[in-house]
Structure 1
Amino acid sequence: MSSRAATRNVRQTDDSSHIRATPQSAAADSPEAGARALRRGLALLDAILAGGREGLRVVDLCRVAGLERPTVYRLLATLIESGYVAPRGRFRYVTGPRLAAMPQRQASTDVAERIRPVLSRVSQACGDAAFAIVRDGPLSQCVARHVGTHPVQVLVIQVGTRQPLGVGAAGLALLAALPDATVGEIIAANAESLGQYNGMTPDRMRILVRATRERGWSVIGNHATRNVLAVGMAVSNADGEPVAGISVATTLARMPRERQQLIARVMRESVGALLPRGL
């Protein structure tokens, strides 16, 4: 074989089709080699985490993590197989579903503290209970709520409640604000459990997502809790990324269309006034 052909056969490109697991030598099984591989893998993962939603190319990962290209390809194969990293298009790599599913406890606490004044303002304005949720993988987790002044309070969830993202108004608003690919993954992950929420289906969820996007805020009733209707809205961070959802829930009788619109406006104005730079 000519040297030119040999070079062509080993050439690597920034194409995810080249990411394949490769067999390791016996020397790679030594404790020293294992520790070195772990350190390199963590360095690569740190770089991908810092890369954000747009992700990084292999050439970027080599530079940031200080690793050679063959090592980066080998580590990427393992991280992708394990779900910690995912390809974005052909050339970039982002955090994978395994990391997205990990609870972000400190982040949730920070969100709860910053969003409570918004819930208080919204609840005082409409008299009904207001709620805030964050995403926990394919689920929503309630991180804060504020009880209103109306004699009948519909406390559909409590702090700590987890349910499929989208079956409640706050979760539906957050779900609809996410990229299409992420929405599809979340609906697929929850497909088997959606039926427990008064006959919710993946198709119905997709319809609700489209309607929420067109309207700019969510409306959902009789799924998470019977005879209740709720209005929700997504809340973004300083980078414009949707990270939380807020909602107001009450009885069907107290939620005619005009009041739904009024509550949505109150939520938008409250977020704008109290969180002008986002969460």
Structure 2
Amino acid sequence: MSTSSTNKNVHRVDVSKPARAPSAVRPERAEDASSRTLQRGLHLLDAVLDSGRDGRRVVDLCRATGLERATVHRLLATLIECGYVAAQGRFRYVAGPRLSVHVQRAAPSDLAARLQPVLARVSAACGDAAFAIVRDGAASHCIARHVGTHPVQVLVIQVGTRQPLGVGAAGLALLAALPNEEVAAAIAANAPDLARYGGMTADRMKILVRSTRERGWSVIGNHATRNVLAVGMAVLNRDGAPAAAISVASISERMPRERQQLIARAMREALAALLPDGL
């Protein structure tokens, strides 16, 4: 009696060539999905950047990108969290602080070269030293200065100096020109270090920002340097967004209110004459 009978209902499996696991294609599919998400996010970021300083609403971004509202909201949340996009008011979105920092870092020498004639003109008008700064995150970064002709020159900072945004006149002017959300974020980031600058506090900084916005230019004394008062003004780029700031510093005795106003006027006139279209 044979024991090797074959059951026709049994299917043989060739184990010499293992079957491909059904999950083997999943990594590729996941990668494709991630690439599509990245592509959509970059497309959305381009749409935000194209809007300039005015920003765009979600409905406008949907039209520009062809994406669904839920997708736009989800991608915006990620871009905002990473600092590439910022909310402006309740309904509009603009380029975020991280992009601003990268733009400023891209060509500081170019910005310095373009601002140097402005500093020279302002300094010649008042006789005091003039400075130019850009934003570096929550800090200000001095990129240029011009020494005046008055016998007493107050060189409060040097090219390359970094300090919390707002403790100096130029930094305060630039801070006040930023959207409210970025102002709050910068003040919060600098709060632990503010006391070292003449007893500055976050609340005091907020008051100075409001005053600067009302006045149109900044004035601050005895914080970055004792017995020194400085006047500052923001410098806008071609889109009307703040890209840098300039300031003039002198001993407090040389800076009564009338002279502060004259220096602010000299700054405004120099910017209008030498950078009529912005940086």
TM-score (norm 2): 0.78
- The Cα offsets for residues 78-123 of structure 1, whole Å up to 9 and x where unpaired, read as 3344343344455433334444454622354333222111101111
Q: What letter is aligned with 1:202?
A: A
Paired residues of 1:47 and 1:61 also in contact (CA < 8 A): yes
- The Cα offsets for residues 4-36 of structure 1, whole Å up to 9 and x where unpaired, read as xxxxxxxxxxxxxxxxxxxxxx76873333223
- Check 1:197–1:46 CA distance in 2 against 1; reply closer, same or farther (3 A cut): same
Q: What letter is aligned with 1:165?
A: L
Look up the match of 1:48: 48
Q: Distance in 2 between matches of 1:31 and 1:205?
A: 47
Q: Distance in 2 between matches of 1:246 and 1:87?
A: 27
Q: Distance in 2 between matches of 1:91 and 1:265?
A: 35
Look up the match of 1:21: none
Q: State which drifts further: 135-144 or 252-261.
A: 252-261
Unpaired runs of 5+ in structure 1? 1-25
Q: What letter is aligned with 2:267?
A: M
Q: State which drifts further: 220-229 or 169-178.
A: 169-178
- The Cα offsets for residues 230-249 of structure 1, whole Å up to 9 and x where unpaired, read as 11122223343332211111
Matched, 1:170 2:179: no
- Check 1:64–1:162 CA distance in 2 against 1; reply closer, same or farther (3 A cut): same
- Check 1:230–1:81 CA distance in 2 against 1; reply closer, same or farther (3 A cut): closer
- The Cα offsets for residues 119-149 of structure 1, whole Å up to 9 and x where unpaired, read as 0111122222100112223221212111122
Q: Distance in 1 between matches of 2:246 and 2:42?
A: 35
- The Cα offsets for residues 174-203 of structure 1, whole Å up to 9 and x where unpaired, read as 222334443333222221111111110112
Q: How many residues align?
A: 254
Once the two structures are superposed, the pairs formed by residues 106-125 of structure 1 within 5 Å of their partners are 106-125=106-125
Aligned alpha-carbon RMSD (Å): 2.6
- Check 1:28–1:139 CA distance in 2 against 1; reply closer, same or farther (3 A cut): farther
- The Cα offsets for residues 61-86 of structure 1, whole Å up to 9 and x where unpaired, read as 34433445554344334334434334
Q: What letter is aligned with 2:252?
A: L
Paired residues of 1:198 and 1:222 also in contact (CA < 8 A): yes
Work out the percentage of aligned pairs sharing the same amino acid: 72
Matched, 1:250 2:250: yes
Paired residues of 2:62 and 2:72 also in contact (CA < 8 A): yes
Q: What letter is aligned with 1:38?
A: L
Q: Distance in 1 between matches of 2:172 and 2:243?
A: 12
- Check 1:235–1:67 CA distance in 2 against 1; reply closer, same or farther (3 A cut): same
Highest Rg: 1 or 2?
Answer: 2
SS at match of 2:199: coil
TM-score (norm 1): 0.78
Matched, 1:61 2:50: no
Paired residues of 1:27 and 1:33 also in contact (CA < 8 A): no
